[in-house]
Structure 1
Amino acid sequence: MKRPPMTKKGAERLRSELDRLKGKERPRIIAAIAEARAHGDLKENAEYHAAREMQGFIEGRINELEAALSHAEVIDVARLNAGSRIVFGAIVELADEDSGEEVSYQIVGDLEADIKQSLISVSSPFARALIGKSAGDSFEFQAPNGTRNYEITGVRYEV
């Protein structure tokens, strides 16, 4: 089985979340459950049920993060030395040839992808369209809202 790639920065971010969940959130929820339990009848105790539901969510997320971090192949993007060619970990600057709008994305592993932070998954159609191209290249992408034409204005790798 191929190990899913993850950037070093993404792995650090996920480890930080895992530490927070284990060190702060888990003890807080355990205390909330104990307090709600002290209120008596659990059948109609909304605080208890909400705390148990939150505990299930937190434990699920802890398991997901531990599994992802143990199976991932952490890649130090600074060592890739791919030049202006786009590979995993690249920060790609694009100009929409139709609107002139400029955007920037980093290609990262599936679990660390977050479009709000301009982190796109290596397995997404857009990232797959970028992989292997270089700065100066233009390409057409079939987006859900129609065909878009982009020019790759820059490619860099953060240290």
Structure 2
Amino acid sequence: MAGAKLSKSALERLQAEFHDLTTRGRIEVADKIERAREEGDLKENAGYHAAKDEQGHMEGRIRQLEYLIDEPEIVENQLYVIVYEGDSDDMAERYMIGNMEEEVEGADVISATSPLGAALEGSAPGQSITYDAPNGALTIKVLSVEPV
């Protein structure tokens, strides 16, 4: 099974989160459940139910991380700086096309399958692109494309 397309930095961050959740995280939740059990009747024990709910969410995240970091494809992401038709260059927006687990300061991460992501994929600086957005056709100008 192949994992997700991730940048090296995102992979390292997700591996660290996975390690933290499977060690410290599981120990902390187990301790919370044990303390709540000691309070008695489990049917009406809000602390116990909250701890079990937390455990369920954490285990779900662990499974998600396992998928993402299992044999990932390491990619070099691109940061696209664009401006919408009719806007001035100082109103530029910054987007990175990639996995939603990516984090880029000062930029929004969008999916390659989104209308804007699909339109930007492979574009070059200076290029004008018209794409179909949910509210109608929009035209953008690519100001720059930078490696992230």
In 1: Cα distance, 2:141 partner to 2:72 partner: 32
Amino acid at match of 1:125: P
SS at 1:43's partner residue?
coil
- Unpaired runs of 5+ residues, structure 2, are none
Aligned partner (choices 96, 107, 118) of residue 84 of structure 2: 96
Secondary structure of the 1:31 match is helix
Segments of 4+ moved more than 6 angstroms: none
| Amino acid across the alignment from 2:78 | A
TM-score (norm 1): 0.80
2:140 maps to amino acid: Y
Q: Does 1:124 align with 2:108?
A: no
Match of 2:6 in 1: 6
The question of whether the paired residues in 2 share the 8 Å contact of 1:98 and 1:149 is answered with no
The number of residue pairs the alignment matches comes to 145
Mark the runs of 5 or more structure 1 residues left unpaired by the alignment.
78-88
Identity, % of aligned positions: 34
| Alpha-carbon spacing, 1:128–1:58, altered in 2? closer, same or farther (3 Å) | same
Residue 70 of structure 2 aligns to a residue whose secondary structure is helix
Structure 1 CA distance, aligned partners of 2:3 and 2:26?
Answer: 29
Equivalent-residue separation in structure 2 for 1:67 and 1:13 (angstroms): 14
Within 5 Å, which residues of 2 pair with 1:23-42?
A: 23-42=23-42
Change (3 A) 1:113 1:142: farther
* Deviation readout 1:24-67 (Å, 9 max, x if unpaired): 32221111100000001111111101100110110111011012
Whether the aligned pair in 2 keeps the contact of 1:113 and 1:121 (CA below 8 Å) is: no
Cα separation, 1, equivalents of 2:43 and 2:121: 55
